[in-house]
Amino acid sequence: MSDKQTITELLNKGGWAYDTGDVDFLADMFTEDGKFDLQIQKNDVIKFEGRANIRGLYENSLKTQTDQRRHIVTNLFFEDEKSDSITATSYLLLTAVADNKLSVLSTGVYTDKLVKQGKSWRIKHRFLYLDLPY
């Protein structure tokens, strides 16, 4: 499998992992010193540094949500491709189902800087810009 195919599956599975509450997978997507920066509209960037803090972000978010989320990841393309690093940009379409009603909550853009550690690709830095709160 090519590196791009591997990363495509990683990012796709990241959406599935959130929607199934698989925090272990989500945290393991990041390097130990990975960073997750989140900006909602023009508000200040909220920063999460290190795998443990990123895990906390996911755990806390999931606790507040009783609906069924779907993180639909699309429009993936790559830049700055090297043998051990790459930048991946993708879109997020975030939906939620609750009480038999489906809502489109937000759209957004992921910009992920990934590095290859051994045979695994992990996110060194994720920036998520959301068009609306989630």
- Binding site residues, other proteins, CB under 8 A: 1-2, 4-5, 72, 74-78, 89-91, 93, 104-107, 109, 131-132
**Smallest gap from residue 85 Cβ to other proteins (A):** 17
In the complex with other proteins, the residue whose CB is nearer, 31 or 87, is: 87
- Report the alpha-carbon distance of residue 80 to residue 56 in Å, rounded: 30
**Smallest gap from residue 101 Cβ to other proteins (A):** 15
Strands, E, within 1-134: which ranges?
A: 30-40, 46-49, 68-79, 85-98, 101-117, 120-130
**Which of these, 103, 99, 121, 124, lies nearest to 112 by C-alpha position?**
124
**Smallest gap from residue 1 Cβ to other proteins (A):** 7
**Which of these, 30, 43, 56, 24, lies nearest to 112 by C-alpha position?**
30
In the complex with other proteins, the residue whose CB is nearer, 53 or 111, is: 111
In the complex with other proteins, the residue whose CB is nearer, 61 or 75, is: 75
